[in-house]
Amino acid sequence: MQTIYLRRQPVELFKILKFEGLAASGGEAKTLIASGLVEVNDEVETRKRRKIVVGDVIVFEGQKFLMQMQ
């Protein structure tokens, strides 16, 4: 499991994918989420603007990411 450090919370899900380089752009991140390819806390998440906070776990392409405060 990898750790992603948040500077503030909450952060919208699509922004995490974009800024962590998991998606090439915000538009691509939104498409990936809407397609059901992202999980948050063991549930498929299709809301692009889902608010992510410390302790959440995102799963994308078989990789797990734990949110922590910086």
Nearby residues of 15 by Cβ (< 8 Å), 6 or more positions away: 26, 29
The pLDDT assigned to 32 comes to 97
What pLDDT does 3 receive?
97
The yes or no reply on domain 2-69 and CATH 3.40.50.2000 is no
* AA letter at 51: K
Burial profile 31-66: b = 16 or more Cβ within 10 angstroms, e = fewer: ebbeeeebebeeeebeebebebeeebebbbeeeebe
pTM as predicted = 0.91
> What's the whole-number mean pLDDT along residues 37-45?
97
What average pLDDT does this structure show over 11-36?
96
Share of the chain above pLDDT 90, in %: 99
Percent of the chain residues past pLDDT 70, beyond the cut = 100
Domain map of the chain by residue range? 2-69
Q: What are the pLDDT digits (tens) for 9-18? A: 999 999 999 9
